A and B are shown apart, each in its own frame.
Chain A
């Protein structure tokens, strides 16, 4: 059934879910929501399947008209949403009735805003996922355009729910990201390793779903290119110019630049929300720590339910 008509897609809006599995050997990107934290919260608020397809709205500017009764949730970048011109809150369920107009400004903080629809968006899937990786140019998977109609499965109202305010991320705050040293870490000079871990970087304007470039303390003497190898999420690669690039969901599957290691997945989600110019620093961590944290994070979404008031989760 038809739920929403797109009036303005903003700079770029794509359908995203958890991404693909088992297709990187064909040269296909992993894809999936750039910020899995905000993505999962959007679905959780509506009691959706956690992999349900959502809209990923880059930097806001999105506008749509409701064509049916539809429950939605907005999470991620603060896009100052309004319904019929009246400001509404993010990180909670919202109810639209036919004719309602949902609008957003450009993102005040954060980069990716997630719009989840009760029951999930009905979207074309390829390679086991609805993720849209724009650079792959598949006709079936395109960014949203003005006039597109979004369809879904469910018009029953969602139970009201809102994320505890204390748990909501503050995207503008300086980031300390955790590096798991690995790959070619030992081939970087001691000076460059120290430089990377002690310097403050700024997120470059050359940042997107494929990777985030960091500027401010270029490494002086990165090792030469390597025999191409598989690139894990969060890999910190350093090309000849010395500016580190953190590779995210739409990264190429293999590559030949040397890598200092990887950022833990949870910190990749945080970095994805950083706007150009934001300060970023690094510290060393280890897999035992970050994997535990990540398992708790995933398990929290899977194994909790909303309390009666809809303002907290219970295990």
Chain B
């Protein structure tokens, strides 16, 4: 479904609910839009089920912009024209899981009647998919977290979550690219830079992410701070 939602943008809706297969299509559609219509497209914002396409209304009006997007949407729905799920890069992200780096780790384990080791095992067992980027530059919404460790946001958000913090909110997990207020339940910290001004966001929608546990000294050797 394609709808003109403002006087310089069009929302393409590809589905109604979160679905990993949709994300691969969305990522491919974004690439097609940006490469074929670079003359007038000014921004492309993929999310779980949608792509918001902004354009320069001095270059093209809403009718022609909409018309130009229709064939791309159709070709992205035809079987075999898009890459399979998780065609993107899979990022290996080291995480130091401990109470000193993840202040909610023990509480989460306790509330879920699990050992801390088991929580870590669940968190590292899955290749997550990047569903969306937002909230902060380079902040990727990753899913889906195993039901066994899925946990709602904290009742009151923290005023300052340290950069690199790895958190869980319901069935999503994420790495905070920089220090910020935040309400996710923190279970560890990663030394990996998620955003920098030259390389931009490390994660792209459609990429895969796998976490692995590292020790305190490995974390510090990799440039992590406590």
Q: B-contacting residues of A (Cβ < 8 Å)? A: 21-28, 30, 126-127, 136-138, 140, 180, 182-183, 227-235, 252-255, 261-262, 264-265, 287-288, 290-291, 294-295, 298-299, 302
Contacts and interface: CB of A to CB of B under 8 A. Distances in A.
Contacts of B5: 180, 182-183, 232, 235, 261-262
Contacts of B136: 27, 136
- B: contact size bracket: 35 or more
Interface of B: 3-9, 11, 16-18, 30, 34, 42-52, 54, 57-58, 61-62, 132-139, 141, 178, 195, 197, 200-201, 204-205
B203 to A, nearest CB: 9
B202 to A, nearest CB: 10
Contacts of B178: 137
B11 to A, nearest CB: 7
21 contacts: A22-B44, A24-B43, A25-B44, A26-B200, A26-B201, A27-B133, A27-B135, A27-B201, A28-B137, A30-B43, A180-B4, A228-B48, A230-B9, A230-B51, A232-B6, A233-B6, A234-B6, A254-B133, A264-B6, A288-B62, A295-B57
Contacts of B201: 25-27
Given A182-B3, A231-B52, A233-B8, A253 B134 contact: yes
Given A180-B6, A232-B6, A235-B5, 14 more contacts: A21-B43, A23-B200, A24-B54, A27-B195, A180-B5, A230-B11, A230-B47, A231-B52, A261-B5, A265-B7, A291-B61, A294-B8, A295-B61, A298-B58
Contacts of B3: 182
B43 A182 contact: no
A227 B47 contact: yes
Contacts of B138: 26-27
Contacts of A27: 133-139, 195, 201
Contacts, number: 139
B135 A22 contact: no
A25 B42 contact: no
A283 to B, nearest CB: 15
Contact of A230 (B7, B16, B50, B61): B50
Nearest to A262: B6
Contacts of B46: 25, 230
Contacts of B6: 180, 182, 232-235, 262, 264-265, 287
Contacts of A298: 57-58
A25 B205 contact: yes
A30 B54 CA distance: 11
